[in-house]
Amino acid sequence: MTVLAPTRLDDAVAALAADSSLTVLAGGTDLMVAVNYGQYRPAGVLSLRRVPELHDWHVEGEGSAAHVVLGAATSYTTLLDPALAALVPALAQASRTVGSPQIRNTGTIGGNLGTASPAGDTLPVLVALDATVELASASGRRRMPVSEFVTGPKRTALAPGELVTAVRVPIARGPQEFLKIGVRNAMVIAVANCALVLDLGRRHLACALGSVGPVPMRDRDAERWAEARLDWDGRPALDHALVDDFGRRMATISRPIDDHRATAAYRRHAVEVLARRALARAWVAT
């Protein structure tokens, strides 16, 4: 088994082109568990640890076109950086619920995307924010919405020889919420989670649910329904009937399953509560 540790992105891409059987190692918090337990034996490993471009983040564009560009190897701890948290609050909130300090220091946003677990905590946030993923291969670079990149449980649109290099997250003006249910506040894989974003400039609401379907679940009809009923000008106290109804609509679009962490019925109930609570909290924060 070869362990490659290139120091330039071009070299990493070239290595993958030369040998698409290489397993990409970002933080290792998923991969090494499988390796330790003998469930997976990589033919070769391409470590991204030493590629500086993948660890950087910066802001591009201005006003309504502004977005944060996060290198794929950005750790959850970096996502908690106050400067970054101010731009994408829900991503920081989600990151804070991931694992422990040890896991957050190691795990990366690119790894969360590459693993594409239905319980991946950043995925509902990225989907709610209409984030796009940047991919690179020997034949060039391309972008696609995160909602298209994650195609199923632990399945992505990544082509052989292709690498996730960055995530582009639009900066929205308005409150954001991320809520998660698990048996502890730390070290827990989501039983259900929910990201909600209010963009006051565009009068736009987005809500995505995680761990209650094969991919993060969103529904533009439910979002439009709420957008049309919110009083964006007056911003009075939120109408409880509206919030309750929104929660029920989101629960309806969820497609949870029974597993060892929870029953489908519990998850459906949980996301109803989470969506309701996320909207109520976000609206109060306007």
Partner 1 sequence: MTGATPTPARTPDADAGAVYQLTVNGTPLTVEGSRPTDSLLHVLRDRLGLPGAKNACEQGECGSCSVLVDGMLVCACLELAEAAVGCEITTVEGLTPVGAEPGDAALTGAVLTDVQQAMIEAGGVQCGFCTPGFIVAIQDLLGRVPEPGPLEVREALAGNLCRCTGYGRILAAIERVVAVRGNGR
Q: Which residues form the interface with partner 1 (CB under 8 A)?
A: 1-8, 10-12, 14-15, 25, 27-29, 31-33, 35-37, 41-42, 44-45, 47, 49-50, 77, 99-103, 105-106, 184-187
Nearest distance, CB of residue 73 and partner 1, angstroms: 12
Q: Which is nearer to partner 1, 25 or 238 (CB)?
A: 25
Nearest distance, CB of residue 235 and partner 1, angstroms: 31
- C-alpha to C-alpha distance for 159 and 20, rounded to whole angstroms: 10
Nearest distance, CB of residue 32 and partner 1, angstroms: 4
Q: Which is nearer to partner 1, 184 or 260 (CB)?
A: 184
Nearest distance, CB of residue 178 and partner 1, angstroms: 16
Q: Which is nearer to partner 1, 15 or 215 (CB)?
A: 15
CA torsion 131-250-156-25 (nearest 10°) is 70
- C-alpha to C-alpha distance for 25 and 111, rounded to whole angstroms: 8
Nearest distance, CB of residue 158 and partner 1, angstroms: 20
Q: Which is nearer to partner 1, 37 or 160 (CB)?
A: 37
Scan for tokens 């106290």, then name that residue. Answer: 237
Nearest distance, CB of residue 27 and partner 1, angstroms: 8
Q: Which is nearer to partner 1, 3 or 144 (CB)?
A: 3
Instruction: Classify 50 in phi/psi space as left (phi over 0), alpha (psi -120 to 50) or beta.
Output: alpha
Q: Which is nearer to partner 1, 24 or 215 (CB)?
A: 24
